Chains A and B, each alone.
Chain A
Amino acid sequence: AAGVIQSPRHLIKEKRETATLKCYPIPRHDTVYWYQQGPGQDPQFLISFYEKMQSDKGSIPDRFSAQQFSDYHSELNMSSLELGDSALYFCASSLGSGNQPQHFGDGTRLSIL
């Protein structure tokens, strides 16, 4: 079965650069979530979209923005990158919102030098 696809798998950037992470949800899933997982930490919710509209917002820095496109894929844009942004970024998708199981991608590992 098709899963959530994230790209790239690995990304290396320098401080103050920008990065764009992409997420392709499971076909027919209309809700996308972004999480950030620091080394040895639990995933922290950043932001979510339902039917291309922002549905919830967590601990996403102002330097980050995200959107969901008409084909339901989502992009997380990160600017003025800092060393502390080094983490694993997960995207998850679900069918609808409200307690539907979230299916996670394998993540993008972002390293800031």
Chain B
Amino acid sequence: GDSVTQMEGPVTLSEEAFLTINCTYTATGYPSLFWYVQYPGEGLQLLLKATKADDKGSNKGFEATYRKETTSFHLEKGSVQVSDSAVYFCALSEAGYSTLTFGKGTMLLVSP
């Protein structure tokens, strides 16, 4: 079945540091890939998405590129802020289906 593997957290960074959260996936078809963010006590917010190979999703300074050859969708940000502290979930949905399969989530903690 489909699965998503994320790097374990917490990831602890100082403000303005570079962020990478690794995500790899296993899927039988040609999935769409997503990053969701969950702030404490809140629901999941769609951060960015990519629907085909080599697509780059971007939003609020975050970027991720759909790499089919390495089955990866790593999240990056050039300069993190304290307000970016949250849990980040990588997810996929198979082509033609909408059910999301999530990774375990990676907690990001940014200190001033």
Using a CB–CB cutoff of 8 Å, the interface residues on chain A facing chain B are 4, 31, 33, 35, 41-45, 48, 55-56, 58, 90, 92, 94, 97-107
Contacts and interface: CB of A to CB of B under 8 A. Distances in A.
A56 B99 contact: yes
Nearest to B94: A99
Most buried by B among A33, A41, A42, A48: A42
A34 to B, nearest CB: 11
Contacts of B101: 45
B100 A98 contact: no
A92 to B, nearest CB: 8
B85 interface: no
Contact of B104 (A4, A42, A90): A42
A55 to B, nearest CB: 8
